[in-house]
Amino acid sequence: MLGGGGLVAVNVYASATENGGDQGQVATGQVLSAPTIYCPDVGSRLTAVPDGARADVDRELAQLDQQIAAAYQQLTQSAAEIEQNPGFAGQTIIDPLKAERSESLQRIADAIGREGDRPQGLDELAACTLRSSNQGAGQSAAPQGSATPSQSGQGGAAPSQGAGAGGQGGNGPVAADYADITSVQPNVSTPAERSGGSTGTFSSSCGVNANGLFNSDNVIVAPGVSNGAHHFHDYIGNQSNNAFASDQDLANAQTSCADQGDKSTYYWPVLRLQNGKQERDADKPGGGTEGNAGQIVTAKQVTLTFEGNPTSKVTEMPRLLRIITGDAKSFVNGPANANASWSCTGYEDRQLKDKYPLCPSGSDVVRTFRFQSCWDGRNIDSANHRTHVAFEGPDGSCPAGFQAIPQLVQRIVYDVAAPSLQDGGRTVPLFAVDSFPEQLHKPVTDHGDFINVFDEGLMRKMVDCINSGRKCGAGADEQPPSQSAEPSQPSGTASPSGPPAATQSAEPSEPATQQPSSDQPSSEPPAGTPATETATAPAPGSGSGSTGLPRVYATASPKKTSTTKSSGGGVINEPTRRPDTQAPTGSAAASPTGTAAAAPAGQETPPTGSQTEPQTEPQAVQGGLAETGAHLWPAVFGGLLLVSGAALLWRTKRTSF
């Protein structure tokens, strides 16, 4: 079953803490070979599940994920036994896992059979295998580090081109998971626009999750199941998204979006720095107990743009439409549903599919999700959460029986430095997205989720804007750059002081809903510092969309350097743009001190909605007359002292004469 000791994981990961603090750097040792557990994905095979069986099937699918996570944890804890006895894993981990899966698959078949035709062949999906992370059948590397995965006919682990589990959680990433973006050839193209196409865009400005709303649920694929994702998600927009949120809960929720008519929920796996930091989820499900360790990084910028179709007009999205793009299990499932796109600002005509980018100095990491933009015209979801929507073809047209809807393009920018691969991230830490534990934090597993909770009137406005070729929305050019779409922050939260870390982060508190730690500087630019909320124009020679894959629009971002200036008691890094570069508009940023920038005129910034865990509360407001006075009084006092000193000197001189 195991193929000998070649599949043994010998993890010599070590973490060093400097000065007794929590800012220690990670020393990632070499690992002989990192095994992972491959189990056939059941959910993707269930294309027809009766409505009456959905709840039971979803619970059993979540249970299958839990079984794999538990088996993987047992595998990592049994390295010594496996090394001494290669048959140990088969007898104590793989065989019992098959038995558990068989029981769950039986219950799935029973649930479907009670409502309709009993599915056949599910029992064939019970068996799992143990595979080396560099024994891949699922993917093959492409030239120039721009690996577009290709499927080989059987699901399997992808080659990592380097042995080792690595990472703060002991399950990745490794050096082979990164590629220098400057060595990648431009690989982005776009379908030609045709007569009758829709060329407008609609933007929604919903912030960057500076209020720290996280959980490890997934209400789309595992409703009613806590920790259904087994990894943490960032949430923006709808503030009531958790495993137990009903459609009515989502409709009644608060939103972080500037336009309160957008209560949609947008979420994706968090990005972490493998820097040895222990977040408050370090010993909780979805976090450190499942290999998701390190400092959570708050995005520098999030852009949400809805685009048209190059060949036809778009129709309105149905309310509560659910879309998942990418595959959280694509490392073992193969790349059939993968849709990861990684790049760097200034290089977005080059997209990486199964590598994290190494960006040059002054360039930021960019994650881009282009969601499916063709709808079957009937369903807001499907049994496998995929067949009710589809990607447009290479020419931009939708498949037969599908109609074009606005395409959500989600662009997330992070100010993280290229890690030092030569020392395993000891000098500059590695970064990676959260993942299911057996997926080893591979970049190809990146994915995004969306539930449409737009007001119907605002959705009509969006469609009219796109079909008429205009640019509209709260994130469009007309929005003042100083406005913020973030919910108010907790009252009494102290502003961070002192020099900020090189990479800034919000620190979680509890697994379901969390808030930034007061000792962590915000990753947002200063109030008034430009931070674009709309996609910039494509770079020369770049297009939108890669051949055979969903379109990816290149976005050229100006290079920037950092200057420092004092802010209260601390020092902040402020980007400095070239004089010939126009400052973008539509900022959804808060100040580095944690002070939320002003909301649009006449609009209140909403507090966080209700969740199963305590929510963040409005932060103490700063600025205005009180803050101005605080800065003026020291100057006035200094002036009085100066005048008094001059008078005293004058009187002393007169007395002496």
**What is the C-alpha separation between 375 and 369, in angstroms, rounded?**
17
Percent of the chain with pLDDT over 90: 54
pLDDT given for residue 641 in this prediction? 58
Mean pLDDT of 481-506: 37
**Other Cβ atoms within 10 Å of 260 Cβ, number:** 15
Q: What is the pLDDT of residues 120-171, one digit of tens each?
A: 999 999 999 988 765 433 433 332 333 333 332 222 333 333 334 677 888 8
Q: Mind listing the pLDDT tens digit for each residue in 310-339?
A: 999 999 999 999 999 999 999 999 999 999
Say what the pLDDT of residue 649 is: 59
Tens digits of per-residue pLDDT, 353-386? 999 999 999 999 999 999 999 999 999 999 999 9
Cis peptide before 143 (omega within 30 of 0): no
CA gap 301, 408 in Å, rounded: 16
Cα distance between residue 580 and residue 461, in whole Å = 34
- How do residues 589-603 score in pLDDT, each as one tens digit? 333 333 333 333 333
User: Residue 541: is its pLDDT beyond 90?
Assistant: no
* H or E stretch covering 580: none
Q: What is the pLDDT of residue 165?
A: 63
| Rounded average pLDDT over 87-92 | 89
- Report the interhelical angle of 54-77 vs 95-115 (nearest 10°): 180
pLDDT of residue 183: 97
Tokens at residue 631, please?
Answer: 């800065």
User: Residue 644: its pLDDT value, please?
Assistant: 62
Do the Cβ atoms of 609 and 240 come closer than 8 Å?
yes
Segment 279-296, tens digit of pLDDT: 989 989 999 999 999 999
- Which residue from 501, 446, 494 is spatially nearest to 273, judged by alpha carbons? 501
| Residue 648 pLDDT level (bands cut at 50, 70, 90) | low
Instruction: Read off the DSSP letter of residue 488.
Output: P
pLDDT digits (tens, 9 = 90+) for 181-223: 999 999 998 888 888 999 999 999 999 999 999 999 999 999 9
Give the confidence band of 71 by pLDDT, cuts at 50, 70, 90. Answer: very high
Residues 440-460: tens digit of each pLDDT: 999 999 999 999 999 999 999
In Å, how far from its chain's centre is CA 421?
A: 23
Please determine, for residue 560, whether its predicted confidence score (pLDDT) is greater than 70: no
Is residue 331 within 8 Å of residue 555, measured between CB atoms?
Answer: no
User: Residue 86's pLDDT is what?
Assistant: 77
Average pLDDT over residues 49-56: 93
What pLDDT, on the 0 to 100 scale, is given for residue 54?
A: 93
